[in-house]
């Protein structure tokens, strides 16, 4: 009899375990990466594992030994913001990175809010979509979340800004997305338009802050406003050194919103974060940033997006290598062939042998360098093929950088030309910093 009871108890436990593993937004997987980079802090939600819907979400990287394990993300501080949501009709700007961590697992914030009986009306999704699976620049359609039944409105499709009609049944908006601190990474442009829409409709916005993995430095040319576009809307350097919460404060404070409207903004701050802290992003923030190596190299290799050089799209080493068929194969001993894959249906030089450089195993510093793009230009066998001028200008925020590279200036000479602009930006930035 005792043996039978024990067997039934074990069977019941297994059934309960299976229920919790499967009963959340998407399939569930245990976190094997950087959950240790987040400590539970007044978290009221139960964690049922990882919400994943495929290759676009969880990273398969080990925590870097330099990772600051004391950082508490704002989403985990539920006691700070859940009271603000009670009896409100809530919308949230979210993607696959919008999660609450607990021990060795995490739960999507939308699941958590619904479990806490928060009246979530809809989700707004940035570039790459709610699940983070769409290609860069790909237009994303509106849809319905199959798990929750919530409507999902794309902010990278027909509209980049929530419409008044979409907000007519919303009392409060949440913005919770992992950024990487680079001007042409479009989540801060989405933030701008969300703040503008909220200001125009008198809807308060809560920003749940997350660390900037490239937040330890400021570099690159400052955008010239004549070149303002969705890849860069504000006169800031290429790498701005701010969290998304600090950046939201700057958008308000510098009156960058249309007609100088001001968003009613609440920032839920990080705990134990400073700008020098190493943060190992545990969830792929977009399809082609698969690990910390790619995120560190992204500010430098991202400039290749405005050229005809492949920056690893169509491989498993996105933003960790670069190459093209017209780079000098006598100089470059490394070669690879991009193919259509997750996150890149049409990579540059698809199915063509590319000659270039592999940086996936290199020890790279957390700073911005022009040496890769300058080396590729120098060893291009047909320099007329190198730049896509309008796209490169959109990424660089200025026409000058292409001209400087073509003129053969050294990296130090080029960087010297934007130091005055960076010094001026640092003075402005100081007003909006939350963290040291």
- pTM for the full predicted model: 0.85
Distance from C-alpha of 347 to C-alpha of 231, rounded to nearest angstrom: 19
Percent of the chain with pLDDT over 90: 76
Distance, CA of 365 to CA of 372 (rounded, Å): 14
Asked whether residue 196 is assigned to any structural domain, the reply reads yes
Task: Show the tokens assigned to 204.
Answer: 């308060």
Q: How confident is the model at residue 66 (pLDDT cuts 50, 70, 90)?
A: low
Neighbour order of strands in the sheet with 151-154: 143-144, 151-154, 119-125, 89-94, 172-176, 205-208, 265-268
249 and 296 in a single domain? The answer is no
Task: Report the mean per-residue pLDDT for the chain.
Answer: 86
pLDDT band at 198 (very low <50, low <70, confident <90, very high): very high
Q: Is pLDDT of 25 > 50?
A: no
Q: How many domains does the chain have?
A: 2
Residues 210 and 112 grouped into a single domain: yes
Examine residue 62 and state whether it is found in any structural domain, yes or no.
Answer: yes
Q: Binning pLDDT at 50, 70 and 90, where does residue 68 land?
A: low
Average pLDDT value for residue range 266-274: 97
Looking at the fold, whether 263 and 296 belong to one and the same domain comes out as no
Residues 348-383 have pLDDT tens digits of 999 999 999 999 999 999 999 999 999 999 999 999
Do 187 and 148 reside in the same domain of the chain?
Answer: yes
**Residue at which a domain ends, from 268, 302, 334:** 268
Question: What pLDDT does residue 158 have?
Answer: 87
Q: If phi over 0 gives left and psi between -120 and 50 gives alpha, with beta otherwise, what is residue 26?
A: left
252/142 same-domain check: yes
Cβ atoms of 322 and 358 closer than 8 Å: no
Looking at residue 140, its pLDDT comes to 64
In a domain, 410, yes or no: no
Are residues 304 and 225 both part of a single domain? no
The answer to whether residue 369 is domain-embedded is: yes
More confident residue, 157 or 368: 368
Angle subtended at Cα 39 by Cα 33 and Cα 44, rounded to the nearest 5 degrees: 115
Q: How many C-beta neighbours within 10 Å does residue 276 have? A: 12
pLDDT the model gives residue 385: 97
Q: Are residues 237 and 301 in the same domain?
A: no
Q: How far apart are the first and last CA of the chain?
A: 64
For residues 19 and 79, the model is more confident at 79
Checking if the pLDDT of 31 tops 80, the result is no
What H or E segment, with its residue span, contains residue 4? Answer: helix 2-22
Query: At which of 268, 302, 335 does a domain end?
Result: 268
In the predicted structure, residue 43 carries a pLDDT above the cut 90: no
Flag the least confident range among 54-68, 216-230, 330-344: 54-68
For residue 29, pLDDT over 50 is answered with no
d(CA 118, CA 306): 43
The two three-digit tokens of residue 110, written as one number:
């939308």
**Per-position DSSP letters for 281-292, written without gaps between them:** --B-SSTT--SH
Calculate the dihedral angle through the C-alpha atoms of 150, 54, 104, 121, rounding to the nearest 10 degrees: -10
**Residue 419 within any structural domain of the chain:** no
DSSP output for 81-147: HHHHHTT-EEEEEE-TT-EEEETTEEEEHHHHHHHTT-EEEEEEE-TTTTTT-SPTT-----EE-TT
Residues 299 and 243 in one domain: no
Residue 188 has pLDDT above 60, yes or no: yes
Domain co-membership, 71 together with 156: yes
Evaluate if residue 37 carries a pLDDT over 50.
no
Predicted confidence band of residue 137 (pLDDT cuts 50, 70, 90): low
Q: Which residue has the higher pLDDT, 126 or 266?
A: 266
Instruction: Tell me which residue of 225, 235, 189, 250 sits closest to 421, measured CA to CA.
Output: 235
Q: What is the mean pLDDT of residues 12-26?
A: 38
Assess whether pLDDT exceeds 50 at residue 13. no
Residues 225 and 308 in one domain: no
Q: What is the mean pLDDT of residues 334-361?
A: 96
Average pLDDT, stretch 30-50? 35
Q: Are residues 145 and 259 in the same domain?
A: yes
CATH of the domain at 106: 3.40.50.12170
- Give the range of the structural domain holding residue 187, as residue numbers without chain letter: 28-268
Q: Is residue 368 part of a domain?
A: yes
Please say if the pLDDT value at position 199 is more than 50.
yes
Q: What is the H or E stretch that residue 190 is in?
A: helix 187-200
In a domain, 427, yes or no: no
User: Is 78 domain-assigned?
Assistant: yes
- Report the DSSP pairing between strands 27-29 and 50-52: antiparallel
| Shared-domain flag, residues 341 and 224 | no
Q: What gap in Å lies between CA 52 and CA 49, rounded to an integer?
A: 9
Say if residues 313 and 323 touch (Cβ distance below 8 Å): no
Range with the poorest average pLDDT among 61-75, 146-160, 165-179, 209-223: 61-75
Residue 143: predicted pLDDT: 87
């Amino acid at each position: 009899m005792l043996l039978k009871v024990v067997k039934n108890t074990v069977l019941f436990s297994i059934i309960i375990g299976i229920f919790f593993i499967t009963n959340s937004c998407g399939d569930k997987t245990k976190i094997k990466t950087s959950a240790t980079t987040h400590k539970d802090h007044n978290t009221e939600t139960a964690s049922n594992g990882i919400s994943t819907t495929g290759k676009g979400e969880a990273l398969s990287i080990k925590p870097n030994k330099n990772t600051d394990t004391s950082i508490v993300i704002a989403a985990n501080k539920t006691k700070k913001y859940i009271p603000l949501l009670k009896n409100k009709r809530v919308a949230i700007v979210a993607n696959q990175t919008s999660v609450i961590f607990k021990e060795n697992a995490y739960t999507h914030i939308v699941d958590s809010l619904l479990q806490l009986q928060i009246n979530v009306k809809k989700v707004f999704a940035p570039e790459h979509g709610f699940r983070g699976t769409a290609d860069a620049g790909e237009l994303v359609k509106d849809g319905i979340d199959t798990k929750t039944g919530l409507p999902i409105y794309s902010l990278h499709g027909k509209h980049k800004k929530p419409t008044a009609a979409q907000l007519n049944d919303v009392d409060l908006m949440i913005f919770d997305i992992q950024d990487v601190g680079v001007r042409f990474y479009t989540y801060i442009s989405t933030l701008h338009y969300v703040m503008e829409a909220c200001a125009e409709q008198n809807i308060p916005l809560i920003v749940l802050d997350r660390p900037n993995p490239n937040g330890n430095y400021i570099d690159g040319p400052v955008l010239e406003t004549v070149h303002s576009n969705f890849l860069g809307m504000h006169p800031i350097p290429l790498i701005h050194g701010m969290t998304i919460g600090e950046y939201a404060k700057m958008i308000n404070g510098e009156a960058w919103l249309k007609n100088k409207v001001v968003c009613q903004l609440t920032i839920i701050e990080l705990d134990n974060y400073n700008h020098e802290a190493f943060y190992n992003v545990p969830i792929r923030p977009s399809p082609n940033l698969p690990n910390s190596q790619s995120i560190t190299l992204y500010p430098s290799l991202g400039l290749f997006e405005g050229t005809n050089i492949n920056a690893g799209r169509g491989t498993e080493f996105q933003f960790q290598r670069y190459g093209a068929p017209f780079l000098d194969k006598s100089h470059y001993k490394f070669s690879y062939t991009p193919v259509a894959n997750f996150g890149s249906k049409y990579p540059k030089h698809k199915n063509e042998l590319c000659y270039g450089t592999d940086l996936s195993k290199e020890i790279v510093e957390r700073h911005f360098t022009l040496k890769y793009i300058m080396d590729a230009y120098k060893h291009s066998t047909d320099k007329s093929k190198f730049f896509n001028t309008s796209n490169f200008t959109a990424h660089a925020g200025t026409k000058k950088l292409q001209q400087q590279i073509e003129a053969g200036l050294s990296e130090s000479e080029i960087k010297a030309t934007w130091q005055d602009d960076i010094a001026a930006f640092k003075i402005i930035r100081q007003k909006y910093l939350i963290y040291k």
